[in-house]
């Protein structure tokens, strides 16, 4: 509820168009919906310009479907991340129009009036083939948010000519998401080559002293290319939202 809305509400009370009790009621009933097991934030689209996304991991199939039903009822669609095959099956059974992206583990039901991708592109770069699930999560989510997405795959720093050969694409990009596991060195190289915002995503790809992605995370936080920002390990979704925040600025 913005300051302007509050001023309007108070004016209605002063005018006698609204009783104090009714105003109090309205102030209390902000636009969210309380289920037994969840409190759905229908207000978020208004507040942030993006629909609420369902993080499916760890939720029961019943809860997942029920939450998605409420979102579909309110906004015409929804986006579910980290979905299991079983959750995806249940959602597809309930919503035949659902699109399921198995590599990204993303289930998307587009609102019927959702516009197609438009505007500046998000460039999603991944260091290795094993980073694809995270890269695809970022790409699919950005597309679901209405952004154009370009992909550059398997261009890690051990074969530097691969990323150097993409100079034009790098120069053109308005926002870049760089995804890397193991040594996590790629964002430092990309960050030094471009002037666009760079969002680094460490992945849990690796073994031993990668400690589940900690090594790549620390590398990126300490990037000697300044102005690189970082999201959580394997958090392709968060990188897409960050890119969307920038493009929607």
Q: Which of residues 149-188 bind its own copies (CB under 8 A)?
A: 153-162, 164-165, 167-168, 171, 174-175, 182-185, 188
32 binds its own copies (CB under 8 A): yes
**From 63, 70, 92, 94, residue interacting with its own copies (rule: CB under 8 A):** 63
CA atoms of 69 and 63, how far apart (whole Å): 10
Q: Which stretch binds its own copies (CB under 8 A): 14-22, 69-77, 85-93, 109-117?
A: 14-22
Contact, 243 vs 147, CB < 8 A? yes
Given the complex with its own copies, which of 34 and 115 has the nearer CB atom? Answer: 34
231 binds its own copies (CB under 8 A): yes
16 binds its own copies (CB under 8 A): yes
φ, ψ of residue 194 to 5 degrees: the values are: -120, 165
The least distance separating its own copies from the CB of residue 190, rounded to whole angstroms, comes to 10
Given the complex with its own copies, which of 16 and 96 has the nearer CB atom? Answer: 16
The least distance separating its own copies from the CB of residue 73, rounded to whole angstroms, comes to 18
Contact, 171 vs 237, CB < 8 A? no
137 binds its own copies (CB under 8 A): no
142 binds its own copies (CB under 8 A): no
**From 85, 86, 99, 227, residue interacting with its own copies (rule: CB under 8 A):** 227
Contact, 37 vs 60, CB < 8 A? no
**From 83, 122, 140, 230, residue interacting with its own copies (rule: CB under 8 A):** 230
CA atoms of 56 and 83, how far apart (whole Å): 5
- The CB density around residue 144, as the number of other CB atoms within 10 Å, is 25
214 binds its own copies (CB under 8 A): yes
Contact, 243 vs 175, CB < 8 A? yes
CA atoms of 178 and 188, how far apart (whole Å): 10
CA atoms of 52 and 18, how far apart (whole Å): 31
Give the strand pairing for 118-126 and 106-109. unpaired
191 binds its own copies (CB under 8 A): yes
3 binds its own copies (CB under 8 A): yes
């Amino acid at each position: 509820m913005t300051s302007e809305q509050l001023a309007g509400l108070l004016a209605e009370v002063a005018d006698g168009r609204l009783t104090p009790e009714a105003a109090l009621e309205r102030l209390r009933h902000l636009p969210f919906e309380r289920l037994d097991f969840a409190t759905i934030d229908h207000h978020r689209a208004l507040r942030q310009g993006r629909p609420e996304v369902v993080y499916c991991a760890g939720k029961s199939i019943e809860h997942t479907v029920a939450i998605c039903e409420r979102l579909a009822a309110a906004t015409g669609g929804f986006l579910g991340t980290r979905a299991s095959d079983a959750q995806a099956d249940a959602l597809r059974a309930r919503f035949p129009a659902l699109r399921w992206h198995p590599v990204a583990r993303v289930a998307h039901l587009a609102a019927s009036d959702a516009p197609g991708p438009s505007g500046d592109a998000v460039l999603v770069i991944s260091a290795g083939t094993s980073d694809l699930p995270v890269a695809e999560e970022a790409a699919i989510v950005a597309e679901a948010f209405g952004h154009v997405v370009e992909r550059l795959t398997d261009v890690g720093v051990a074969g530097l000519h691969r990323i150097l050969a993409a100079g034009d694409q790098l120069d053109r990009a308005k926002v870049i998401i760089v995804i890397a596991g193991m040594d996590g060195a790629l964002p430092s190289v990309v960050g030094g080559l471009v002037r666009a915002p760079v969002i680094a995503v460490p992945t849990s790809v690796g073994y031993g002293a990668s400690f589940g992605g900690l090594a790549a995370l620390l590398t990126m936080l300490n990037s000697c290319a300044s102005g690189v920002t970082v999201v959580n390990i394997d958090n392709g979704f968060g990188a897409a939202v960050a890119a969307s925040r920038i493009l929607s600025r």
